Amino acid sequence: MIFIFGIDSIKKEIGPVEEKLCPHCSNKKHWLLQKSSRMFSLFFIPLIPFSTKYYIHCPICNYGFDVKDDELQKKRSLAQLNMEALNNDLSEKDYEEKLNKL
């Protein structure tokens, strides 16, 4: 019997975090928070995560930085709040209230 093992990387965009001037491509855009998980896979199906990192990156050229543990909770909450606002799930007033609580 043959088993095919591998390592896959799964990336998920969480949402926009903050507007930054990119030092790589010089565009001023809202940088995105992304979760990147490395997983053991069996027969090309990702099964067991063994490493997870968060980083923010430029949406134009993908240049980015790792997010430090002490900043992660705030950046993740901000990205989720901004995604809700972009999907029109929040009124402007609710957005301001939630933003002030972060």
Q: Which residues bind Zn ion (CB under 5 A)?
A: 22, 24-25, 58, 60-61, 63
DSSP 4-67: -EEEEEEEEEEEEEEEEE-TTT--EEEEEEEEEEEEEEETTEEEEEEEEEEEEE-TTT--EEEP
Min dist CB 32 to Zn ion, Å, is: 11
Residue 18, both tokens:
């903050």
Q: How far is the CB of 99 from Zn ion (least distance, A)?
A: 25
- Of 25 and 86, which CB lies nearer to Zn ion in the complex structure? 25
- Which residue number, 32 or 58, has a Cβ lying nearer to Zn ion? 58
**CB distance 57 to 17 below 8 Å:** no
Q: Closest separation between CB of residue 96 and Zn ion, Å?
A: 29
From the CB of 25, what's the least distance to Zn ion, in Å? 3
In the complex with Zn ion, the residue whose CB is nearer, 16 or 85, is: 16
